[in-house]
Structure 1
Amino acid sequence: MKRNFYSYTVFLFSLLFLAGCETPEPFENNDNNQLSDIWLTIPGQKDARFNGTYSANGETITFEIPHFFPAESDNQVDLKNLVLRANIPVDARISPALGNPMDLTEPIKIDIASGTGAVKSYWVEVKKVADLSVKTVSIEVDGQEINGFERNGELIFYVVPGVDVSNATLNIGISRHSTSSLPSGSKIDLTNPVPVTITGVDGTTKTYTLMAVPPQKLNYGIGITRKLFIKIGSEIGGFGAHTETSMSVSGDHLIIGTNTTPSRYRILNRFTGALVGDMTMPSASFRSFSMVSDEEGHIIGSSYTPKNSNFLIYKWDNAMDQTPELLITYKNESNAATDGALGRRLSVYGNLNTNAVIMATESRNPVILKWVVTGGQLVSQTPEKITYGDPIGAWPFVSDAQPISASPNTDFFLNYASEIALVSGTTGRRISAIPNTPALVGVFHMPIDYFEFNNAKYIGIAEYLTSTLDQARIAVFDVTDPANINGASAATKVFTSDQVSGTANPNGTADIEVMVSPDGEKAWAYLLLTNGGIIGYELTNYDPN
């Protein structure tokens, strides 16, 4: 055993001797003397790192640092107490040594010597610069805030044509150490470009140009929206208890209807909500729960009619028409076991002077009455009755059937407490329905309006947000593709307004009305909340991005 151990030990030491006698490879010095990185820091400020800018010939490196750091503090940066750091080749040497506080009030020269001794020199200079940037900018027009953005020294606001910007209020956010020639709160006329100059702490200045420009148009759907107004009942002549239940749009007017006897059709300016006057009513006994307008602004209003009484629909050419025409007289022959009244909801699609479809719903009975207008003439005083074939749950007092074309057999949207369904005009059966979930359509969702805008099809509803039905908002859904209605989601809910608040109303007798401009570039949506007030919005085809 000793002999074997001795042999192994001699062998191992022989290997170590041979390895130790190998000649190491010679190390060749590198001639690289280029800076790979250089940066500047402020002692005690871990987030203060500044990179330099090289001159065209690469021999001068300029650092621009703020007068204060952090930017909105009062801590002035001391040029005599800054730290330079750099990355250099592995075998190079730098002079002077970096990494410690140094005085950079004047330019300094830095020499990089390569491993071969070749030297390259750089000049480093540090400049304090004032913060002349505009961090935020917006204007307020008619109570609507429009955010702006900077583009090559221009402060751009995308403003939809037709919006008056002659007396806009400017809000501008800049460094607290700088001043603006137009401080926040200034009134400006943006019908033409307006200059604004920012002056820094060191007296340097930068001038921007404020500009209102029209945005790009979308090829599909709703783009920029803006709130026109919100009015509580007391601001427009007062609301009664559960009395304001219908609304229509005609020309420049918004009309609010009451279900009193006689009814009052109140005329407002539809752009401002200001009270204008009253429409002419057909008689002192005319009590109307519902009044709507067609696509051209012609108005129809219906009487509230129990069973076995005459249901009346009058037509006005516009809000100023002094001689309403009795368009329909029909004896309500409902077969409903309970109620069966007509007139709580009325809808129309088309142009009553050419082709249109009118629909009314019975109360507490799933029956829709349909009248057809062809060539400006009512086809028959007697309506076609459509019994809905797929009702869910009990039929409420208030339901709404909204035709989606002027075709005599048009499909229609049916809105009642248990669902919002697209219904076949020929079979009376459900085609598809939006999921009846509170997160999507509210705790209640009455009534409905249908409109087509910018190559898309939409329904708008009054979406109630509380079980007491005292808070509601406009909600708009894209229903262009019927296949998406069954799977409606937040993606198809393309717009919601601010809410209108009031007091509880047990039947949810709000109203919604949407009008599209003749050129198809804008639409206006209005919501009336019984016991509350009204809100108006402008929808456009302009890109918000």
Structure 2
Amino acid sequence: MITSCSKEIKIERGTEGVITDIFANIEGSGPQRLFEARYSNDTIYFDIPYYYPINSDYETDLTKIIVRASISSDAKVSTPFGKPMDLTSPFSFTVVSGSGVETKYVIKARKLGDIGIADAKISFELDGEIEEVDGILINDELRFFIVPGQDMSQTKLTFSINKHATSSIESGSVLDLNTPKILTISGPGGASKNYNIVLTEPVKLEYGFGVHRKLWFKEWAEFGFGGIGAGEAEQSLAVSGDYLIIGKAGTSGNARYMVYNRFTGEYLRDMYMPFTASSGAFADSRQLIADEKGNLLAINRSLINNGLQVYRYNSPFDLTPQLMINTINNQGAGTTGLRLNVTGDLDGDAVIVSTKSSTKSFYRWEIKNGVLQSQQPTLVTVGVAKGSTFGIYPEVQYIHPTVSSNYLLAFQNGFFHVNGNTDQQIHEVNMSATFFMNALSIARFNKATYTFLGRYYSNLKTMGLSMFDITDPQMFGTPTSSSLYPLFNVFNSERLRAEQDSPGTGDIAVGYSHDGDRMQVYMLHVGSGVLAHEFTVYSQN
């Protein structure tokens, strides 16, 4: 006979009843984090744009703000969030923990106009020529780097502000900047900010970047792209000269390479497209990328045992691109052409890589002294323990333009530093709160070597740009808990959010300007938009 006895199971109730996350948006915006909160003890503040979108004429209605919040486990909240609520006056609510502990909060919201400033420039005459200098915004300083001793008494100042804002100095005014000036921007709702116009001698750092800023962000809809389903087609970025090219896939010969001004995001024209409806098996193109000098490569999507072609363009306006590689995808398994990466200069030494989907392999071509060594690629299989395959869109980026160089691998399960001679893992890069990753790019700037990674946080809706200083390869093994980690992971951008899960086909591209003193980095997040961020060699001090 089998007997049993019952034992009382004690459930520990939560003792903490707090808000763990809170943000706001408006009707029709789904789960987007439009308005972030500021905290002060038990008070939660929202500065709501007076108009939304900020450059529109649609005034925000504080009686219809949707607050979305997360609370600690086992807790309850006294008000149902997630539906329109009136925030024209302070709103109080309580979070009660599972054990009955109450925490009281107050939400205070106000409408403020946009008082930001963009595209600030000064121009002046120097030795009979008109010189133009871009401004850099650092907190409340509008800083211009000028060689000492220059007469700035007849300096033209131009800038852009929100159409609902006003300025104490009109854009286009000629000023005497030999003496300090203050520019005040005012907006609806009592918003106001003073910007000190500062002329300072440029102090260049001996190594790496200093002053940096967001150049622009252009939303998905502003590009005229479709939703997530249709928007999956936009999945590559390249920089050549002053131009940013966004590649749009086309399974039936309708692929496009769209050219934009990379400093403003303005559409200019389409590039010549060699993969057309009459190309048969070559009609589908997913990738167009640039080498480190701005030469462009375009590849078709090639199923196993199908043709594989790579065209080279000398610029976005090249109407007769060279068919550089014409071969067959007949090694190993898997589709290729969904991701394409190049390290180096196509006119010098370079390594070209195209990964093979749902395998642990990639194709590799080598260029020496501007000459492609073989039409036939080398099939490389990577010895990384994680994952049965690298998924659909892995990326491989060689650190130096030689096949013996170590390289980087990013795919949905991790970010790795790999030995170029043995193709075995050296390091798995330590990161926190990363759900998925794959977009990779490399840059050499002011004696430093950087890699950029597109990271998806918690889900495929939220993507950010992370920058790592890989000049010293030993830094790849730095743990996140180390005091040295900020010297390795040197920058993380704001997080872009799409309304739905993206397909994970984001991309990154890098460009340079001002004789190499500035570096611009672009990140494409499908369904959200394109973020442009600039890094300079100038010290913030």
User: What band does the TM-score fall into relative to the shorter chain?
Assistant: 0.5 to 0.7
Which one of the candidate residues 442, 456, 465 is aligned to 1:450?
A: 442
Distance 1:536 1:335 in 2: 38
Distance 2:413 2:247 in 1: 26
Aligned to 2:144: 159
Q: Give the C-alpha shift of residue 385 in structure 1.
A: 1.6
- Residues 376 and 316 (structure 1 numbering): CA distance in 2 closer, same or farther, change over 3 Å? same
Aligned to 2:358: 364
1:414 aligns with 2:409: yes
Aligned to 1:384: 378
Is the contact between residue 419 and residue 436 of structure 1 (CA under 8 Å) also seen in structure 2? no
Aligned to 1:249: 239
Which one of the candidate residues 141, 156, 160 is aligned to 2:118?
A: 141
- Residues 192 and 407 (structure 1 numbering): CA distance in 2 closer, same or farther, change over 3 Å? farther
1:291-302 aligned at under 5 Å gives the runs: 291-302=288-299
Aligned to 1:213: 200
- Residues 487 and 211 (structure 1 numbering): CA distance in 2 closer, same or farther, change over 3 Å? closer
Q: Give the C-alpha shift of residue 196 in structure 1.
A: 4.9
Deviations 1:303-361 (A, max 9, x none): 1111110111111111001112111122112433xxx1101111001111222110111
Which one of the candidate residues 516, 519, 533 is aligned to 1:520?
A: 516
Distance 2:210 2:322 in 1: 39
Distance 2:157 2:416 in 1: 46
Number of residue equivalences: 374
1:394 aligns with 2:388: yes
Deviations 1:354-392 (A, max 9, x none): 221101111110012110112222110111121101231
Distance 2:292 2:491 in 1: 21
Which one of the candidate residues 424, 429, 432 is aligned to 1:437?
A: 432
Letter in 1 for 2:231: A
Is the contact between residue 418 and residue 425 of structure 2 (CA under 8 Å) also seen in structure 1? yes
Aligned to 1:237: 224
Distance 1:493 1:197 in 2: 36
Aligned to 1:537: 533
1:59-458 aligned at under 5 Å gives the runs: 140-142=117-119, 146-147=137-138, 157-159=142-144, 166-168=157-159, 185-187=168-170, 192-193=176-177, 195-196=180-181, 210-239=197-226, 240-260=230-250, 261-262=252-253, 263-285=255-277, 286-336=283-333, 340-395=334-389, 396-438=391-433, 442-458=434-450
Distance 2:467 2:374 in 1: 34
Letter in 2 for 1:159: F
1:494 aligns with 2:495: no
% of aligned pairs identical? 29
Which one of the candidate residues 439, 462, 465 is aligned to 1:471?
A: 462
Higher Cα radius of gyration:
1
Aligned to 1:23: none
Is the contact between residue 169 and residue 185 of structure 1 (CA under 8 Å) also seen in structure 2? no
Q: Give the C-alpha shift of residue 214 in structure 1.
A: 4.5
Aligned to 2:280: none
Letter in 2 for 1:428: D
Letter in 1 for 2:234: E
Deviations 1:390-426 (A, max 9, x none): 2312321110000111123222111111221111111
Distance 1:450 1:494 in 2: 14
Distance 2:384 2:322 in 1: 36
Aligned to 2:69: none
- Residues 226 and 187 (structure 1 numbering): CA distance in 2 closer, same or farther, change over 3 Å? farther
Q: Give the C-alpha shift of residue 222 in structure 1.
A: 1.5
Distance 2:332 2:366 in 1: 22
3-state DSSP of counterpart to 2:533: strand
3-state DSSP of counterpart to 1:235: helix
Distance 2:510 2:145 in 1: 19
Deviations 1:513-544 (A, max 9, x none): 11234833111100111222111111111111
Instruction: Kindly report the root-mean-square deviation, in angstroms, between the aligned alpha carbons of the 2 structures.
Output: 3.0
- Residues 252 and 516 (structure 1 numbering): CA distance in 2 closer, same or farther, change over 3 Å? closer
Distance 1:219 1:322 in 2: 41
Aligned to 1:504: 500
- Residues 496 and 165 (structure 1 numbering): CA distance in 2 closer, same or farther, change over 3 Å? farther
Which one of the candidate residues 465, 472, 486 is aligned to 1:481?
A: 472
Is the contact between residue 190 and residue 212 of structure 1 (CA under 8 Å) also seen in structure 2? no
Distance 1:250 1:371 in 2: 21
Q: Give the C-alpha shift of residue 434 in structure 1.
A: 0.7
Where does the alignment leave 5 or more consecutive residues of structure 1 unmatched? 1-137, 150-155, 171-182, 199-207
Deviations 1:458-502 (A, max 9, x none): 1101122341x1221211011121111111535122112233332
TM-score w.r.t. length of structure 2: 0.64
Aligned to 1:8: none
Aligned to 2:26: none
Runs (4 or more) in structure 1 with deviation over 6 Å come to none
3-state DSSP of counterpart to 2:438: coil
- When structure 1 is superposed on structure 2, of 503-512 and 302-311 the one drifting more is 503-512
Letter in 2 for 1:167: T
3-state DSSP of counterpart to 1:392: coil
Distance 1:519 1:306 in 2: 42
Letter in 1 for 2:428: A
3-state DSSP of counterpart to 1:312: strand
Distance 1:191 1:355 in 2: 49
Letter in 2 for 1:435: N
Is the contact between residue 144 and residue 198 of structure 2 (CA under 8 Å) also seen in structure 1? no
Aligned to 1:105: none
Distance 2:182 2:529 in 1: 43
Q: Give the C-alpha shift of residue 436 in structure 1.
A: 4.5
- When structure 1 is superposed on structure 2, of 371-380 and 187-196 the one drifting more is 187-196
Deviations 1:255-298 (A, max 9, x none): 00011132100000000000001000013133111211001111
Distance 1:543 1:342 in 2: 43
Is the contact between residue 418 and residue 436 of structure 1 (CA under 8 Å) also seen in structure 2? no
Letter in 2 for 1:141: A
Is the contact between residue 232 and residue 502 of structure 2 (CA under 8 Å) also seen in structure 1? no
Distance 2:117 2:137 in 1: 6
